[in-house]
Amino acid sequence: MKRLPYFALFLSLHVFNVSVAVAAASLPIAPVSALFYPNEVSLTVEGKLTPQDIPGHGRGLKVVLPPQASRETFSVTVDDVPANSFYWLEQKSRAKDSLRKNRVGNTTVYSVPTLEQENDPARREMLAAIASLQEEADKIEASLQSTETRIALWQSTQAREKDLSPDQLIQLDTAFSQHLPELLEARAKGTRTSQEIQSRLKRMEEELAEYDESRVQHIVIIPFEGPAEKSVLARYSYIMPGSCQTAYRLTAYPATGILDIEQDAFLLQTSGVTWKDVDIFISTTRRDTALRPSVFTPWLISHATKDEAPSVPAARTYSPRDQAATVSERTVDMKMLSRNEPAAEEKGTFRLWSLGKRTIDSNVTVNLPLAKDQYKARYYYTLQPSLNAKGFLTADLSLDKALELPLGKARFFVDNVAIGEQPLSINGNKATLFFGTDPQVTATMRDVKRSSGEQGFLSKEQTLSWHWEITVRNTRSRSIDVAVQDPLPDAHDTAIKVTVESKPKPETATTTAQLGQAKVYAWNFSLQPGEVKVIDHKVQVSAPADKQINPGRQR
C-alpha cells in the first residue's frame, strides 16, 4: 500500500482525548505577583473565571498552569473563599511509549493537546525537519525496491539456464558479471543509508516527544455549580522553577574610611510568556530552609571486658523531610508590601524585598538594582610575613544593626578600581572584608638564629629555638594601621614547654573564618608615612630528651 507523505499524515491525523479537548485554546494566566527564592518562584494569579461543562466531570472552573508548575504547591480561593476541593485532568501523554503505540506503517502520528502547540515555531521547525528526512527515506526505500526487483529478474533468468544454448550461456554470464555486482553493491549501500536515516528519524521523533512532553499543561478543575453567564474571582498560587541570584559591588575608600555596598538581583523566569506589570518580591531565605535544629545522637560511655568489643550505639537516623519541612504555608500579603522603589522589610526569620511592578521576559536574565548603602569602616593592613610579604587591605565593619547579605558573587573595588571577585555572605553586625594586596605596605621576616640541641653534658632535656626579625614598612604618603600575624605554637603534650620573647609584646588572637580561625600572635600598631618598625620575635620549645619533637614548622 502506498504511504501518504509523513507531513500530510501529521496534518490529517490529530488524536485528542476528553481532557485535552477541554484544554484546547487555553493558556495560563499571567501572574499579578511573583516571589523569587534563590532556586524557584512563587506566583500569585488573579482572574475572572466562568463555570463550564467538563465532559464526564460535571461543571466547574478550569485553571491552566504552565508545564513547569508544581502541583503540590497549588492552592486556590474562589471569591476569597478557600476551595473545598479540586482535581487534575490528566492529559494524553506523548512520551516514547505513546510514540510506539501511534504508528501507521512506518510513520508516527502525534497527539496534539492544544492548538497553541500547532503554532509553536520551534515545533513546526522540528516537524519540517522530520518530514524532509521522511521524504528522503521514502526515496531510498523506492530505490531499494527497484534494485530488489532487478536482482530478482536476473536470478529468475538463472533458473532457465538449461533451456539456453552454449552461446547464450556465454552471453548471459557476461551480462551477469557486468550488471549483478553493481546491483548487489547498490542494494548494500541503499540498505546502510536506509538504516542510518531510520536511526536519525527515531532520534528526531524522540526529541519531538520530549519537547511535547515538557510543554504539556497542568489543568485543574474546581467544582462549581454557578451559572455560565456569571463570572467569579479566582485567586490561586503555585511554585515553579526560577532563580534569583544576588550580586554585590563593594568599593573601599581607605583614605576616608568609607565602604560602599551595592546590591543587585538577577532574576530568571521560564514560564514561556512575558510577565507585564507584575509585583516582584525577593526573599532572602530558601523555601526549603530547615524548620528545627538537628537531633543529637546520645553520647554514651560504656565498658567491656578485654574479650568483648565495646558496644557502640547506633546513630539515630531521621528523614531530611523532618528537618526541612516546607514553609510554603508562610503567606505574605503581596499587595500590602508592593512599592514603586526597591525596599526591604524584615520578617520573623528572613528579609523580603519589594521591587514594585516590573515586566520580565521569559528565559531572559533581568538585572534589577536593590540597594546602595554607605558604611563607616576601619581600614588597616593584615600582614602575614611568614606567608606573604605584601599587606592585605582590610575593612572591619561594626554596625549598630545587623546586616543580611545572602550568598552571592561580589566584585571588589578600591577607589573605583577593580581588584577581583569572590563569593560574599554577611549575616550580623560585624564583618571583615579583604581588598587584595598593597605593594607599598610590606612585612619581611628574616632568620636571625635557629638552633637545637641538649642542655648540659648529661641533660635530660632538648630544645628548639627560633629567632626572627620582622621588618614592617609603610611607603605610602599617609599613616596606616597594621595587624602583623604569625602562627601561635600550640603544644599538645604537657611535657612540651613553649617560651616566647618578643619586642614589642604581641597579643593572642584568632583569625577570621575566611582565614581558618587559626590562633596567632598579633602585633597591632600604626605607621606614619615612610616609617619602618622592627619586631624581634623569639620562640623556644623544650621537651624531654627521650621525646621526638615535631616542630610543626619548617626549620
Same domain, yes or no, for 125 and 137? yes
* pLDDT at 327 > cutoff 80: no
Give the per-residue pLDDT at 126.
87
Give the per-residue pLDDT at 526.
96
Give the per-residue pLDDT at 333.
41
Is residue 390 very low, low, confident or very high in pLDDT (cuts 50, 70, 90)? very high
DSSP 8-state symbol, 313: P
**Among 199, 214, 229, residue at a domain's last position:** 214
Q: Does 533 fall in a domain?
A: yes
Cis ω for the linkage preceding 504 (within 30 of 0)? yes
Q: Does 394 fall in a domain?
A: yes
Question: Any idea which of 40-49, 265-274, 281-290, 479-488 has the lowest mean pLDDT?
Answer: 281-290
Is residue 14 very low, low, confident or very high in pLDDT (cuts 50, 70, 90)? very low
- Residue 208 belongs to domain with CATH number: 1.10.287
Q: Does 416 fall in a domain?
A: no
Is residue 473 very low, low, confident or very high in pLDDT (cuts 50, 70, 90)? very high
Same domain, yes or no, for 348 and 457? no
Task: Give the residue-averaged pLDDT of 327-350.
Answer: 52
Give the per-residue pLDDT at 330.
34
Same domain, yes or no, for 230 and 304? yes
Task: Give the residue-averaged pLDDT of 79-96.
Answer: 72
* pLDDT at 3 > cutoff 70: no
Q: Whole-angstrom distance between the N-terminal and C-terminal Cα of the chain? A: 91
Cell numbers of 26, please?
Answer: 487555553
Q: How many domains does the chain have?
A: 3
Same domain, yes or no, for 65 and 36? yes
Give the per-residue pLDDT at 64.
87
Same domain, yes or no, for 94 and 197? no
Give the per-residue pLDDT at 338.
42
Question: Any idea which of 110-124, 206-220, 275-289 has the lowest mean pLDDT?
Answer: 110-124
* pLDDT at 119 > cutoff 70: no
Going by C-beta distance under 8 Å and a sequence separation of 6 or more, which residues neighbour residue 176? 154
Q: Determine contact, residues 537/471, Cβ cutoff 8 Å.
A: no
Q: Does 255 fall in a domain?
A: no
Q: Where are the alpha helices (DSSP H) in 53-111?
A: 96-101
* pLDDT at 407 > cutoff 50: yes
Same domain, yes or no, for 221 and 208? no
Same domain, yes or no, for 304 and 361? yes
- What tens digit of pLDDT does each residue of 143-168 get? 888 888 877 776 666 555 566 666 66
Is residue 124 very low, low, confident or very high in pLDDT (cuts 50, 70, 90)? confident
Task: Give the residue-averaged pLDDT of 57-86.
Answer: 88
Give the per-residue pLDDT at 261.
96
Highest mean pLDDT pick, 297-311, 347-361, 427-441:
427-441
Q: Determine contact, residues 237/244, Cβ cutoff 8 Å.
A: no
Same domain, yes or no, for 44 and 142? no
* pLDDT at 504 > cutoff 60: yes
Give the per-residue pLDDT at 246.
92
Selected residue with higher pLDDT from 161 and 513: 513
- Characterize 389-417 residue by residue with b for buried, 16 or more Cβ atoms within 10 angstroms of its Cβ, and e for exposed: bbbbbbbebeeeeeeebbebebbbbbeee
Give the per-residue pLDDT at 517.
87
Q: What is the DSSP string of 144-187?
A: HHHHHHHHHHHHHHHTTGGGS-HHHHHHHHHHHHHHHHHHHHHH
Give the per-residue pLDDT at 483.
96
Task: Give the residue-averaged pLDDT of 479-502.
Answer: 88
Q: Does 249 fall in a domain?
A: no
Question: Any idea which of 201-215, 360-374, 405-419, 463-477 has the lowest mean pLDDT?
Answer: 201-215
Same domain, yes or no, for 105 and 4? yes
- How far does CA 507 lie from the centroid of its chain? 43
Same domain, yes or no, for 427 and 525? yes
Give the per-residue pLDDT at 380.
97
Selected residue with higher pLDDT from 492 and 97: 492
Give the per-residue pLDDT at 205.
87
Give the per-residue pLDDT at 320.
34
Q: Does 223 fall in a domain?
A: yes
Q: Does 179 fall in a domain?
A: yes
Task: Give the residue-averaged pLDDT of 108-137.
Answer: 69
* pLDDT at 479 > cutoff 90: yes
Task: Give the residue-averaged pLDDT of 390-414.
Answer: 92
Same domain, yes or no, for 362 and 384? no
Q: Does 366 fall in a domain?
A: yes
Same domain, yes or no, for 304 and 351? yes
Selected residue with higher pLDDT from 304 and 344: 344
Q: Domain containing 359: what range?
A: 1-114+217-244+265-371
Give the per-residue pLDDT at 353.
87
